A and B are shown apart, each in its own frame.
Chain A
Amino acid sequence: MSALNLNSPYFAIRKLTKHFPIRKGFLKRKEGYVNAVDNISLEIEKGKTMGLVGESGCGKTTTAKMILHLEKPSSGEIIIEGNDTVDIKGEQLRKFRRNVQLIFQDPFSSLNPHRTIKQIIAEPFIIHEILKKRSDINDRLTQLLELVNLSPDCLKKYPHELSGGQRQRVGIARALALNPKILICDEPVSALDVSIRSQIINLLLDLQKRLNLTYLFISHDLSLVEHMSDQVAVMYLGKIVELLSAENFFDERLHPYTDALLSAVPMAKPGLKKNRIILSGDVPSPINPPSGCRFRTRCPIVEPICAENEPPFKKITTNHFVACHLRG
């Protein structure tokens, strides 16, 4: 499961980079770049979950968009089942879209309010012209609703008639409609209430087991990511600063940013004496990231070397990598 394994991986990102040009003035000349995602590499085994954590603006969602072909990478490869998918077009792209689907964050804005649940879930079949007979579509719809534990009378309803949890189930049913192999979950439960959240998490875990799905699970909730994932990648300002197995996430983490993130998460255990590290300031602008280590402006253990060189992504064990001069 190492990040640089050369055996053909199931799902891999290699040196993926996205720079958004900043255009200014009458001629819309390029005046610099926002380095949203900068040279990241990841590998996910079939049927496993990679958790991706970081603060807003760190490039998590841009990474997801590039994987989904919604944003063209500036450079790098996205390999799915051994093939690079960055430049595919036409029929290949249509096939690709069937295999890779997305679950959105907000179940309130991601469902069309003018359409019934039936129309929403059946739309992928119509677009991809997979099922044409009405009876086939109905059979598949019943199957999908069963999969996500919704009652069949939901089909005639409109999104506003459903609760947040039910709507998220509809979103999941729609994502599963075409039998995808990879699901990108972009903060799938952060808009839901606490008691509904665990229902959706259990559904995702159950579906993964039953359908052998591969997840990229994006969240800022570290405890949840630790619970859901097999491996966790921590992103900061467009770079992966630490990659390790979820099992060892709490005990063996090394990067000071991972420390700080973890200590900032409020834990529901009062009196828990933990070393609270409060990072000062905000995430720096990705237009002009700090030289050397990008985290050095907020790092509690910064040394002069951090400003000079960019820390290499060091291998600690076969499945633990960290980008820090001082740790590891």
Chain B
Amino acid sequence: MSINSMQEGSETNTPPLLQIKNLNTHFFTNAGVVRAVDGINLNVQKQEIFALVGESGCGKSITARSILRLIPKSGKIVSGSISLDGVNLLELEEKQMRKLRGSVISMVFQEPMSSLNPVYRIGNQIEEILLAHHKEMTKSARKDSVIEILELVGIPSPEQRIHNYPFELSGGMRQRVMIAMALVSGNPKLLIADEPTTALDVTIQAQILELIQDLVKNLGMSVILITHDLGVVAEIADRVAVMYAGSIVESALVSELFNKPLHPYTRGLIRSLPYGGKTGRKQPLYSIPGNVPNLLDLKPGCKFYDRCQYANEICLGNEPPLQEVETDHLVRCIRINDIKD
């Protein structure tokens, strides 16, 4: 894949904030090696919301955790490089990495209830991050910055809220607290949001998405948004990569991807949405046949072969490369010229 051309394709000429090259994260299980992340290349520009979409088990969360080097024990980053502002994160010592986590790169998790400690007041939990990263701060300075950050993420009357326990807050408020925790120790350059709104109601989801957009605008950070909801991607992301079974199958600007999806998997996903407009009410929706392949037992060739309506013998050779078909639009399919309609 052409990393250089991706840079040229983007509007700014500044180097990307995050550059992942040929990342392989494998899990070594008793049943065999699972290639959860299988040769991923991607760039995240400054001040950009980059969405990583895919179904469960496609490796999107492991990609994000690889950036933080926080993968479960059975997993290992086998090869590749992840550079943030020119520094290869995979070569840093654990001690240096710890300094980056939660300050330069922060993460917001999916379920705010299980990510917050139920027996500590939220003020103390946010303060804990300052204790780890800014030992020089006085107690009152810490309290002030906790209140300030809660105000920033839109929590009303933060002076009182810092004394609350997580169970006293609603789902949306808890997710705001999680975002506050990600931001409190100085402006992160990169925020990784792993399904930040999946557990929330639509009206609350809209609030949180708006907050993330505001933060990108006002704090100048970049966001990697992991989600399975194409609607969320269309709504707030700038660029998007679609993952399938550990590989990126298509990546493009959001408007490009939705208006001109090229990979059969992306096309299937978009067509199967009820608001695609192509199917009438109560009519069957398009559905991609079959299931996600077992990562322990992958056949050579295209990983989407079994479920693809355009598949043919030539798809069974090597895994198709991710080729650039148009500026900044990359697709991993060798038959796209045959399936254009």
Contacts and interface: CB of A to CB of B under 8 A. Distances in A.
Interface residues of B, number: 46
B56 interface: yes
Interface string B195-222: 0000001111111011000000000000
B173 interface: yes
A268 B275 contact: yes
A55 B201 contact: yes
A279 interface: yes
Given A266-B234, A270-B254, A270-B258, A261 B203 contact: yes
A282 B173 contact: yes
Contacts of B273: 194, 198, 223, 268
Interface in A65-122: none
A56 interface: yes
A162 B254 CA distance: 34
Contacts, number: 126
Contacts of B173: 282
Of B206, B254, B279, most A-chain CB atoms within 10 Å: B206
B268 A195 contact: yes
Contacts of B203: 55, 260-261, 264, 278-279
Of A196, A199, A267, A268, most B-chain CB atoms within 10 Å: A268
A96 to B, nearest CB: 28
Interface string B164-205: 000000111100000000000000000000000000011111
Interface in B92-140: none
B79 to A, nearest CB: 29
B334 interface: no
A194 B204 CA distance: 21
A206 interface: yes
Interface majority SS (helix, strand, loop, mixed), chain B: helix
Interface residues of A, number: 45
Given A194-B55, A267-B231, A261 B284 contact: no
A166 B170 CA distance: 33
A261 B202 CA distance: 7
Interface of A: 49, 55-56, 163-166, 193-199, 201-202, 205-206, 220, 222-224, 226-228, 230, 246-247, 260-261, 263-272, 276, 278-280, 282
Given A196-B55, A267-B275, 20 more contacts: A163-B291, A163-B292, A193-B56, A194-B228, A194-B272, A195-B269, A195-B292, A202-B284, A220-B201, A223-B274, A226-B274, A227-B275, A227-B285, A261-B202, A264-B202, A264-B205, A268-B276, A269-B258, A270-B259, A282-B204
10 contacts: A49-B282, A55-B201, A163-B292, A195-B287, A202-B284, A223-B274, A227-B279, A264-B205, A270-B234, A279-B207
Interface of B: 55-56, 170-173, 201-207, 209-210, 228-235, 254-255, 258-259, 268-270, 272-276, 279, 281-288, 291-292
